Amino acid sequence: MFNGYRVLDVHGHVSIPQEGYFFGMFLLGSNYPADSPIGVKDAPWVAVPPESFQRAAQEHVAYLDARGIDVQIIGPRPYVTLGWMEDHLIPSWTRYVNDAIAQQVGFFPDRFLGACQLPMDSAGDDTSHCLDELDRCVQDLGFVAAYVSPDPGGRRTTPGMHEPYWYPLYRRCEELDVPIIVHGSNSLDRRFRIVPANYQLGFVIEQYLAGQFLGHSDVFDRFPRLKVLLCHGGGALNRFIPTDYHLPQRDLSANLFYDTCVYDEHLLEATIKQRGIPQLCFGTEAPGSGGSVRPETRRTADDMVPVLDAVSFLTDADKRWIFHDGPIAMFPALERLQGSAP
């Protein structure tokens, strides 16, 4: 809670126990698209006891409690979406991850909402191959959003997010009233190898490019009710003034949004000023890549509530929008979960 209202986090990832990732190794090693073992008693494939998943989920809840976060939308962990694997294996891994997300939501239904991974194939003719899993996750599992990677194969061969390749997914998300969360995944660029956890470079590049492509295109004319959230503040900021023709000269405030998962305070403040309060939602990725400790506070970087509370130019109304009202405007299911705001 913050100032009497709940803190709603739009950027979280499922907590799969370490042994739970062996199913991915099994798929890669066997080259066989096995069924998800989650929820299957005496599954013939690699199975992890539900108790292990529940312990991981409980640790996740404790992590949120320590950071003042009441509800979080959880999706796949982007660096293990494995969109570069053989195309016939991708649906099996995707279904397994989504079953894990649904299981965690089921353990703590008052703390989590699900966002699905999609079986994205960079070489597909279009995104029609993603629709059955999207429907399953939304209609059967109750998920409220869909994660997409702008380049799931990691080789920069995927069509840009403004191209017709994406239209079937956009159309179906608009029909289902399901927002899209854009988050980079792996990058297989050989130049990145010098950098630890170099998938982070892919996050920055692909999320920024997605915003540019969507903003300069007619996607939101074709799909006017589509809502898209760009993670990590959009990846990178614009260096041009707002009237410069390099930037989209159109109002995107009804369609394109950004989270606050930006750990450096100076960049966070610049992100808030450049993106604007109405297009921001609170996001932390806690627990995730923000585990480094700030020397001045001895708090982890992803302990974002006090960081945003300390931003001098934010009013109480601004903070309420970021922490509570903005997430609900983007994901109305957050309000249905917690009841009406006080």
Task: Render 74-103 in DSSP notation, one character per residue.
Answer: EE--GGG--TTS-TTTHHHHHHHHHHHHHH
Sign of CA dihedral 136, 151, 79, 206: negative
- pLDDT for 339: 52
Contact (Cβ atoms closer than 8 angstroms) between residue 260 and residue 233:
yes
Closest CA to 93 of 168, 171, 41, 16: 16
Does residue 202 fall inside a structural domain?
yes
DSSP string, 255-267: TEEEE----SHHH
Tell me if 194 sits within 8 A of 158, measured CB to CB: no
Residue 215 lies in a domain: yes
Task: Detail the DSSP E strand segments found in 223-340.
Answer: 228-230, 256-259, 280-281
Q: Which of 60, 50, 70, 47 is nearest to 14 (CA)?
A: 60
Number of domains in the chain: 1
In a domain, 242, yes or no: yes
**Looking at the domain assignment, is residue 306 inside a domain?**
yes
Q: Is residue 106 part of a domain?
A: yes
Q: How many CA atoms lie within 13 A of 19 on its CB side?
A: 10
**Residue 115 · residue 176 · CB < 8 Å:** no
Q: How confident is the prediction along the chain (342 residues), in pLDDT tens digits per residue?
A: 999 999 999 999 999 999 999 999 999 999 999 999 998 888 888 889 999 999 999 999 999 999 999 999 999 999 999 999 999 999 999 999 999 999 999 999 999 999 999 999 999 999 999 999 999 999 999 999 999 999 999 999 999 999 999 999 999 999 999 999 999 999 999 999 999 999 999 999 999 999 999 999 999 999 999 999 999 999 999 999 999 999 999 999 999 999 999 999 999 999 999 999 999 999 999 999 999 999 999 999 999 999 999 999 999 999 999 999 999 999 999 988 765 333
Structure tokens of 146? 């869909």
Neighbours of 17 (CB within 10 A): 18
The reported pLDDT for the residue numbered 43 is 84
**3 in a structural domain:** no
Residue 267 lies in a domain: yes
Task: Supply the pLDDT for residue 46.
Answer: 83
Whether the Cβ atoms of residue 12 and residue 70 lie closer than 8 Å to each other: no
pLDDT attached to residue 342? 34
Asked if residue 2 belongs to a domain, the reply is no
DSSP letters along 28-79, please?
HHHT--PPP-TT-TT-SS----HHHHHHHHHHHHHHHHHTT--EEEEE--GG
| Residue numbers of the domain that contains 316 | 8-338
CATH number at residue 220: 3.20.20.140
Beta strands in the chain (DSSP E): 8-13, 71-75, 112-116, 145-148, 180-182, 228-230, 256-259, 280-281
d(CA 34, CA 236): 39
